[in-house]
């Protein structure tokens, strides 16, 4: 019995390593294509996501998206020069609240998913590049939606650190509003404002 359990654990570990290695070896545009398609397919198949269930969206994002995101870099870039002034505890709170904010925004978008597909645009890069931009379009009924990604090459594969929706880079957009909040109330003031926004959004869902 014990030997069978050990075999199962070894098999599971082997599959996990093989999966991680496959993602690490993937080209950045193919990674974006695969992750985007998996998220859209999951949203199409889940009625609770289409109803805007934040918990289901959060679970989907954690499982499919977050393993391929450098979220610390994304948050640090959005906070800008103030990030270094924040304590480790403040940095953690900023990441947690920023993630909640983005997931709630994401839940609204995924609730609209019906027959959309992801189309990659030609990518200009060389094998030596450590940072690239992957450009995509979400196509369905109506006009295509521009959705681009900035990725960095990490030891365990390519990681997303910024997203462009309809010509607006997410990090830059939030950096401006975050700077105003920090200027008015410091790092704790920004954290409090994010908590407030997330609670308000939670009350509506």
Q: How far apart are CA 194 and CA 94, in angstroms?
A: 8
Whether residue 186 is predicted with pLDDT greater than 90 in this model: the reply is: yes
pTM score, whole prediction: 0.79
- Per-residue pLDDT reduced to its tens digit, 131-151: 999 999 988 887 888 889 999
**Is residue 144 within 8 Å of residue 127, measured between CB atoms?**
no
pLDDT exceeds cutoff 80 at 113: no
- Give the pair of three-digit tokens for residue 10: 């070894």
Residue 18, pLDDT score: 37
Mean pLDDT computed over 80-88:
96
* Residue 150 pLDDT: 96
- DSSP for 149-175, written as a single string: EEEEEETTEEEEEEEEETTEEHHHHHH
Q: Look at the alpha carbons of 194, 198, 199, 200 in this order and tell me if their dihedral is positive or negative.
A: positive
Instruction: Tell me the pLDDT of the chain averaged across its residues.
Output: 84
What percentage of the chain carries pLDDT values higher than 70?
86
Q: Report whether pLDDT(5) > 80.
A: no
Return d(Cα 5, Cα 1) in angstroms, integer.
6
Least confident piece of the model among 4-8, 13-17, 123-127? 13-17
**Highest mean pLDDT of the ranges 24-38, 64-78, 95-109:** 64-78
Q: What is the pLDDT of residue 203?
A: 63
């Amino acid at each position: 019995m014990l030997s069978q359990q050990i075999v199962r654990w070894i098999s599971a570990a082997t599959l996990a390593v093989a999966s991680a290695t496959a993602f690490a070896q993937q080209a950045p545009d193919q990674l974006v294509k695969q992750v985007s398609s998996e998220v859209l397919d999951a949203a199409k198949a889940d009625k609770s996501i289409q109803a805007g269930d934040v918990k289901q969206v959060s679970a989907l994002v954690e499982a499919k998206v977050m393993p391929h995101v450098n979220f610390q870099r994304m948050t640090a870039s959005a906070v800008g020069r103030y990030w270094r002034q924040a304590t480790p505890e403040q940095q953690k709170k900023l990441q947690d609240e920023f993630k909640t904010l983005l997931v709630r925004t994401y839940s609204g978008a995924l609730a609209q998913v019906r027959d959309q597909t992801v189309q990659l645009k030609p990518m200009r890069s060389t094998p030596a590049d450590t940072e690239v931009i992957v450009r995509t379009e979400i196509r369905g009924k109506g006009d295509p939606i521009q959705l681009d990604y900035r990725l960095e090459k990490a030891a365990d594969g390519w990681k997303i650190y910024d997203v462009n929706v309809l010509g607006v880079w997410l990090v830059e957009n939030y950096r401006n509003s975050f700077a105003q909040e920090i200027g008015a109330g410091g790092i704790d003031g920004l954290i409090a404002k994010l908590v407030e926004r997330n609670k308000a959004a939670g009350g509506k869902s």
